[in-house]
Copies of this chain bind each other. A is one copy, B any other.
Amino acid sequence: MPTTSNPEQFLVWLKTQIPLLNHMGLGELEYDGKRLVLPAELAPNINDKGTGFGGSLATLATISGWCLTTLLLREQSLDCDVMIRDCEMQYIAPITNDFYAQVVVPSTLDVDSFLLRLKEKGRARLALDVSIKQNGIVALKMTGNYVAIQRT
């Protein structure tokens, strides 16, 4: 894994690792240490009803939480394997245009507790709320638990 925490370079690298991400019309990954945004075009993610395919929305939400966890760890120079452990998803409204995933970094208390546990135990869990939005309106809400395991 490259050590860059530059979001653009990170996404370029990620697309070399996860072939499916090259077929989703992903836009530019944005991450400022507080919030992550990952856009996608509707056309490659369309379904039989001409709206956003549930699987595409689920994939974008899943990878966005993974990216936030990984970039957050990289800011701390921590090299970990990151995996999703479980999630709940609610499909709230159909996607009818280009869309994006948004993940906000949890509270300082939660992040500090995650990092402390990781240093003590070599593994820790981070709970994230991920939204898929279109023009600011929420189409899908996901709550996901991601597990980080320090590489030895």
Residues of A with Cβ closer than 8 Å to B? 1, 14, 17-20, 22-24, 43-49, 53-56, 58-60, 62-63, 66, 81, 83-91, 94
Question: A89 CA to B43 CA in the complex, in Å?
Answer: 26
A63 to B58: give the CA distance in the assembly, Å. Answer: 11
User: 9 additional contacts, CB 8 Å, given A20-B23, A49-B83, A85-B90?
Assistant: A18-B46, A54-B66, A55-B58, A58-B62, A59-B59, A84-B91, A85-B91, A87-B88, A89-B89
User: Please, which residue of chain B has its CB at the minimum distance from the CB of A56?
Assistant: B20
Question: A19 contacts B44, CB within 8 Å?
Answer: yes
Q: CA–CA, A19 to B56, complex, Å?
A: 10
CB nearest neighbor in B for A63 = B55
State A105–B91 Cα separation when bound (angstroms): 23
CB distance from A40 to the nearest CB of B (A): 11
Which residues does chain B contribute within 8 Å of A85, judged by CB atoms? 90-91
**Given A89-B87, A91-B86, residue A23 in contact with residue B17 (CB < 8 A):** no
Which chain B residues lie closer than 8 Å to A84 at the CB level?
Answer: 54, 91
Tell me the smallest distance from the CB of A92 to a CB of chain B, in Å: 9
Instruction: Kindly state the separation between the CA atoms of A90 and B58 in the bound complex, as whole angstroms.
Output: 14
Set B14, B44, B48, B94: member contacting A20, Cβ < 8 A: B44
